[in-house]
Amino acid sequence: MPPRVDLTKCDGCKAQDEPLCEQVCPGNLMTLNENSQAMCRESSDCWDCMSCTKVYPVGAIETRVPYQIGYHGAKLIPMVGTNSITWTSIDINDKVERFRCKTRND
Amino acid sequence: MTEPLQIHQPRSGSEGHSDIFDCVQCGYCSAYCKVSFISEDSPRKVIRFLQQDDIDKAVKSSFVTLCKQCQTCTWMCPQGIDVAGIMRHLVRHHFINY
Amino acid sequence: MGTNPPQIGLYIIDPGETLAEIVDLQAVIQKCAKIRQVEVCEVISDIWAEQSLQTVQETVTENRIDRLVWVGTFTAQQKKTIQNVLLEVGVNPYLHEWCDLQLQTIALGKGTEKTLLGKTLTVIEMALARAKQLQPLVPIKLPASDSVVVVGAGIAGLHAAASFIERGKRVHLVEKQSGVGGKVALLSRFYPLLCNPQCGIEYVLKTLRNSDKLTLHTLSKPLAVEGNAGNFSVTIQSQPRYVDTDRCNGCGLCSNVCPVELPIFLDNIQDEPPFQEAKGIGGLIKETRRAIHASVPFSFPESFVVERASCPEGCCKCEDACPTKAIDLSEQLPAEQNITAGAVLATTGWDPYPLSRLNNYHGYGQHANVIGNLEMEQLLSQISKGSDIPLFPSEGDGNRVGFIQCSGSRNTKHLSYCSSVCCSATIKQIKQLKTLRPDAKCTVFYQDMRCNGFEEELYRELRSTSDVLFVRGFPKVEASNPPEGTKLTLVCEDTFSGRPITTELDLLVLAGGMQPSKAGVEFAELSGLPLNDHNFFEGHYQCYPEESQRTGILTGGCARGPMNASQSIESAGRAAMKALKFLEGTISIEPTYPVVNQLKCDQCKRCVEECPFDCYRLNDKGFPEPDLSKCRQCGNCMGICPVSAISINHLTLKQLAVQIEILENSFLDYEEPIILAFLCENDALVAARSAMDKGLNVPMNVIHIGVPCAGAVNNALIADALSIGIDGVLIGGCKDGQCHYINGNQLVNKRSGDLADKLKTMRVEPERVQSLSLEIHEAERYVTILEDYIQSLKAMGPSPFKL
């Protein structure tokens, strides 16, 4: 399932040449559309690595969970701290689960 | 009086007109008014009456009937008050009530 | 840091054993001694006893400890003393960590024994965690130029230049006219002693004349200001004088042979010359100047100058007449040059408000005998020099003079502010007029007489004079092209009596206002300084009035707002004082500057965009680098960085993160919310501290962390805090428009808005993160806010992340 961009929030990283999501995407899928806002150019190729979602500074990208794991409407939301990431998973029945993973971000 | 007077005019940015309480009684309007010197009152005095909440006195004032709506007072006012507009309101009430 | 992990000395300062009454210190010691890397753990009851600090010093010299954590309550002075004592044995001042129990609400002693002990242990652990991350830091020194550029040689610029020269600094004085003096040189008398300003200028020039440190650039203007504090590169353009300043001896023979006569001074002061040839003051002031003349407005430099544009074709009489061969009338181009300077001082002064814009009101430029107050000054100085000018042109020698105050000032259609000097100027002019022409009858039409300070006495003195009439009201002057020979008649309502007054006058003086000079607006444009709503230079009027948004560029005198000559001189002096620190040859920079971790940075340029002082530049590899001489160390870049790559030294993200991590284990009951408050050190933290000092009932739930600006709080830190189960995060900054770093509080509001949206999608109440603005005196309000916040947090229930 591809990343969804909230176009009201995305500022195209102030329209620099290469926005953050484009830099981090391992499949080189993210790019800017004609309005200088982020978009995924080949949604079928996205393998839900969540890199763009984690890195996004204003929280404009959301990744839906693949249907094999949760049906439409299920979400996985990261919150990046200095040395940990906290994941919130919301399934289609609105059940919320939270995980905190230490990272070696420092 | 049949209807409440709308003298307090809304402030609307720099272009709009200000409230009567912005009047600092400088007397520009009176000096430049074409008719104030044949009347006992002057636009400044009328506004002073309104500031003192003496609406009756303002409406009864002989000056308001003389006002010719030449807009000089509005143009001259350093505080941006629509003096002529206030006079227009008053003159209407003057003829309705007296 | 060496290879060994840092060893920490923990000292609990408990004067008078007041702390021991609140907290079981033995339990604290036992717990803390078990923490790793804590080598020494002691309670010192009297730190100021002689042996106490000696013992600490010995422990350091024995190499047992290299980080020190002080627990207790300290004033800034005490911290400094302890730091200095330990500096003697080589402990870097940045290796101390201060755990202020007063600030953390413990010293108040409110709450149960268990929570007090718990909270004490938590805050000490936080301090220990941070102490492990501390690094020794030293101020860095940058080379700097010791010369200064002063733009504008008015009275403010001259005094500033004199102050610099007295301190032995090299001064480049840039002036757009051919001579120094500015507007003050045009005055007849000035405040408060009512002496001649020529004398005042001559006095300050005494310092300048004899100095080899002064370079005067006349007929010049700055074109560009590059670089930063300590090392500005100022490009200036100078128009040719056509007279060699070194050779010219100022004999004036050239002026005598010059065939061109020009009216004096008017074109110098009015951007929009109001008069047609035959009318007005052009006829009043008989004195003229030639195309080659001494420097105006004040004859310094002493060399003459040629107004080449008014020279007749092929005339070179002056060239022939000059005995020293100083004149060269061949075609010359404007010269450009670069000056390196440590600081730039903008004393660009003021321009008179163009009174011709008032012709609807007062007939300026239409009646021959309506003049502005600056022209009145000229007139008075001409008369006092003894020239036989008929003061009152239309009627031979009448004696009735009128003054209209606030001509153009305090008027929403013109200058909305009060120009602050015109009332006193009118008083001064009347006073001088009465000495020169005792029979003059003066009438002043005013709205309010604003004679501040001692000037009030002059006003009272004049008011008691019988033939000076003060009328409160604005007169009407017949304006639209009166026929020749019409008498000047004024109609006015005396607003005190309500009676109309009709006056005939022989001369009417309009007290026109001050507007910022055109040169000042141009300078602001080319140097990128912000102007306020009235086009004067913006500054933080209370805290650093003379400093501009660009470090190293200072503003003084009337460039900052209307002031009289003496205020202007004071302002210039203060600006010079502030500028001196950039002229020491080196600039010392506190080590708490931001550092960019290039391994993490992904060149998103957000720091470049958001830095309030525009101090980030990209280096050749594309990474942002702060320009330390511009940086004011507010930490907004640290707050904005999306990948947490920027940290300010001594308050790094890592140091904050390890502190937050300690809070994972709550020191309160499960139901009691824990609030982490990041407070701005300028306002909010002081308010919180004073709440504690006043003994207000500050709840135990809150942990305070001070940051240089609310904008320095990174979202990652908030994420950290929330994810370990802290119930609420407060970010306290200044009120809008009061931020010392321009817009830190606005930035943090915008960011916390983004975070709130994210929390909403995560099914976490967005109200858990709150930003508040707090003024420095609002201690009571802070406590109320905290109590309300705790209530709302309790209503929400414990954080979903809480274990």
Give the per-residue pLDDT at B13.
40
CB contacts < 8 A (A, C): 80
Where are chain A's structural domains? 1-52, 65-106
Q: Are C217 and C303 in contact (CB under 8 A)?
A: no
In this prediction, residues B5-19 reach a mean pLDDT of: 49
- Range with the lowest mean pLDDT among A62-71, C253-262, C370-379? A62-71
% of chain C with per-residue pLDDT over 90: 35
- Range with the lowest mean pLDDT among C414-428, C486-500, C682-696? C486-500
Mapped onto helix, strand or coil, the DSSP state of residue B3 is coil
Locate A106 and state its tokens. 């420092």
Q: Which residue has tokens 């004073």?
A: C690
Mapped onto helix, strand or coil, the DSSP state of residue A24 is helix
In this prediction, residues A1-8 reach a mean pLDDT of: 79
User: What's the rounded Cα separation, in Å, for the pair A18 and A38?
Assistant: 10
In this prediction, residues C197-219 reach a mean pLDDT of: 90
Chain A positions in Cβ-Cβ contact with residue C604 (cut-off 8 Å): 13, 16, 19-20, 57
User: What's the rounded Cα separation, in Å, for the pair C113 and C106?
Assistant: 11
Q: Are C155 and C200 in contact (CB under 8 A)?
A: yes
Count of structural domains within chain C: 3
Give the per-residue pLDDT at C782.
92
User: What's the rounded Cα separation, in Å, for the pair A66 and A68?
Assistant: 5
Q: What is the 3-state secondary structure (H, E, C) of C524-561?
A: HHHHCCCECCCCCECCECCCECCECCCCCEEECHHHHC
Partner-chain contact C754 A20, CB within 8 Å: no
User: What's the rounded Cα separation, in Å, for the pair B41 and B60?
Assistant: 11
Under the banding of pLDDT at 50, 70 and 90, the label for residue A105 is low
Q: Is residue C58 part of a domain?
A: yes
Residue by residue, DSSP assigns A34-81 as: TTS-EEES-GGG-----HHHHH-TTS-EEEEPPTTTS-TT-EEEEEE-
Half-sphere exposure (Cβ direction) of B8: Cα atoms closer than 13 Å: 4
Q: Which chain C residue shows the shortest CA-CA distance from A77?
A: C762
Under the banding of pLDDT at 50, 70 and 90, the label for residue C599 is confident
In this prediction, residues B3-26 reach a mean pLDDT of: 60
Domain stops at, among C138, C163, C194: C138
In this prediction, residues C67-74 reach a mean pLDDT of: 90
User: What's the rounded Cα separation, in Å, for the pair B91 and B95?
Assistant: 6
User: What's the rounded Cα separation, in Å, for the pair C147 and C145?
Assistant: 6
Locate C333 and state its tokens. 């181009």
Locate A96 and state its tokens. 């919320």
Q: Are C713 and C798 in contact (CB under 8 A)?
A: no
User: What's the rounded Cα separation, in Å, for the pair C271 and C291?
Assistant: 20
- Report chain C's mean pLDDT, rounded to a whole number: 86
> Is B94's Cβ below 8 Å from some Cβ in C?
no
Phi-psi region of B26 (alpha: psi -120 to 50; beta: other; left: phi over 0): alpha
Chain B positions in Cβ-Cβ contact with residue C491 (cut-off 8 Å): 31, 37
More confident residue, A63 or C202: C202
Say yes or no to pLDDT of A1 above 70.
no
Give the per-residue pLDDT at C10.
93
> Which residue range is the domain that position C775 belongs to?
651-803
% of chain C with per-residue pLDDT over 70: 94
Strand partners, C338: C235
Residue C179 neighbours by CB distance under 10 Å: 24
ipTM over 0.95: no
Chain C positions in Cβ-Cβ contact with residue B37 (cut-off 8 Å): 491, 500
Give the per-residue pLDDT at B10.
45
Partner-chain contact C755 A9, CB within 8 Å: no
Under the banding of pLDDT at 50, 70 and 90, the label for residue C273 is very low
Say yes or no to pLDDT of C58 above 70.
yes
**pLDDT tens per residue, range C525-583:** 998 888 888 999 987 778 888 888 788 899 999 999 999 898 999 999 999 999 998 89
Locate B85 and state its tokens. 């507009």
Give the per-residue pLDDT at C277.
37
Domain stops at, among C483, C512, C541: C512
Say yes or no to pLDDT of C270 above 60.
no
Residue B35 neighbours by CB distance under 10 Å: 14
Give the per-residue pLDDT at B1.
42
Of the candidates A9, A14, A81, the beta carbon closest to that of C723 is on A81
Mapped onto helix, strand or coil, the DSSP state of residue C618 is strand
For residue C29, the domain's CATH number is 3.40.50
Please report, as a single letter, which amino acid is at residue B46: V
> Is C497's Cβ below 8 Å from some Cβ in B?
no
Where are chain B's structural domains? 22-97
Q: What is the nearest CA distance from A35 to chain C, expressed in angstroms?
A: 18
Domain stops at, among C488, C512, C536: C512
Q: Which chain C residue shows the shortest CA-CA distance from B79?
A: C412
Q: Which residue has tokens 């230049």?
A: C161
Say yes or no to pLDDT of C288 above 50.
yes
Q: Is residue C487 part of a domain?
A: yes
The domain A1-52 having CATH identifier 3.40.50.2300: the answer here is no
Q: Are C364 and C356 in contact (CB under 8 A)?
A: yes
User: What's the rounded Cα separation, in Å, for the pair B92 and B78?
Assistant: 26
Paired sense of beta strands A30-32 and A38-40, if any: antiparallel
Give the per-residue pLDDT at C275.
41
Q: Are A56 and A42 in contact (CB under 8 A)?
A: no
Q: Is residue C37 part of a domain?
A: yes
Nearest to C85 by CA among C56, C64, C127: C56
Q: Are C546 and C575 in contact (CB under 8 A)?
A: yes
Task: Show which residues of A are catalytic.
Answer: 47
User: What's the rounded Cα separation, in Å, for the pair C356 and C274?
Assistant: 6
User: What's the rounded Cα separation, in Å, for the pair C417 and C406?
Assistant: 10
Give the per-residue pLDDT at B12.
42
For residue C368, the domain's CATH number is 3.50.50.60
**pLDDT tens per residue, range C315-338:** 888 888 899 989 988 888 999 999
Which residue spans within chain A are E strands per DSSP? 3-5, 30-32, 38-40, 61-64, 75-80, 84-90, 96-102
Give the per-residue pLDDT at C802.
81
Under the banding of pLDDT at 50, 70 and 90, the label for residue A22 is confident
Q: Tell me the residue length of chain C.
A: 803
Give the per-residue pLDDT at C264.
63
User: What's the rounded Cα separation, in Å, for the pair C275 and C281?
Assistant: 8
Q: Is residue C687 part of a domain?
A: yes
Chain C positions in Cβ-Cβ contact with residue B30 (cut-off 8 Å): 473, 493, 495, 500
**pLDDT tens per residue, range C86-120:** 999 989 999 999 999 888 888 888 888 888 999 99
Paired sense of beta strands C507-512 and C370-372, if any: parallel
Q: CB within 8 A of C635, min separation 6: which ones?
A: C594, C648, C651, C707, C708, C709, C711, C712
User: What's the rounded Cα separation, in Å, for the pair C379 and C398?
Assistant: 16
Partner-chain contact A83 C609, CB within 8 Å: no
Angle at which helices C715-723 and C653-662 pack, to 10 degrees?
20
User: What's the rounded Cα separation, in Å, for the pair C688 and C704?
Assistant: 9
Give the per-residue pLDDT at C389.
65
Mapped onto helix, strand or coil, the DSSP state of residue C594 is strand
C62 alpha carbon, distance to own chain's centre? 49
Give the per-residue pLDDT at C577.
92
Give the per-residue pLDDT at C173.
95
Mapped onto helix, strand or coil, the DSSP state of residue B74 is helix
Say yes or no to pLDDT of C271 above 70.
no
Q: What is the nearest CA distance from A41 to chain C, expressed in angstroms?
A: 21
Measured in degrees and rounded to the nearest 5, phi and psi for residue C15 equal -65, 130
Partner-chain contact C719 A77, CB within 8 Å: no
User: What's the rounded Cα separation, in Å, for the pair C527 and C533?
Assistant: 18
- Range with the lowest mean pLDDT among B24-33, C386-395, C652-661? C386-395
